Amino acid sequence: PADPLVRQQPRPAPRPDAPVRQVPTPATEGFEVVPDPLPFTPPIDVVGTGTGSVAVDPPKPSPLFVQPGIDPRYAADFQPGYPSEERRAGREGRVVLRVLIGADGRVKQVERVTATSDAFYRATLDRALTKWRFRPATRDGVAVEAWKTMNLSFVLEN
């Protein structure tokens, strides 16, 4: 600490001929001031904690989607009848379809992907629209429409 008995000398006044220091100021010409695209929002205090932290919901899990499946009660009805003209010709075949299955498990729409012949496709299409039943797809336990790809083979037995 300074000794209270020692008198402090007053600071001398600046000389009138001393140079004045200039602080450079940034140029503002040619610049445009735009508002912040993301305005600041102060954190919200969580009631009762006094921590000043922001209440954040935990991330929601993505919805659980279960693909449609063949209803086992109708599994025997899936294979279409062998087209007679193909049987007589001794041809075997394969059909691949995309099937839109409604929330009720019934076939709503059929798209041809590939088919060995039109006869195999027609037999499969008729069977799909009249007899096929599925367990519908579910999203978080709720039945929803969904597409399923079906492969069918036509094999001649001796």
The rounded distance, in Å, linking the Cα atoms of 101 and 132 is: 10
Residue 129: the pLDDT is 95
Helices (H), 8-137: 84-89, 118-130
The SS3 of residue 120 is helix
| Signed CA dihedral, 71, 109, 83, 117: sign only | negative
Q: What is the DSSP letter of 38?
A: S
Low-confidence ranges of the chain (pLDDT < 70): 1-10, 14, 18-56, 158
**Looking at the DSSP assignment, which residues form a beta bridge with residue 132?**
none
CB 110 within 8 A of CB 125: yes
The amino acid present at 47, given as its one-letter code, is: V
Sheet holding 65-66, edge to edge: 65-66, 137-139, 142-144
Domains and CATH numbers, the chain: 67-154 (3.30.2420.10)
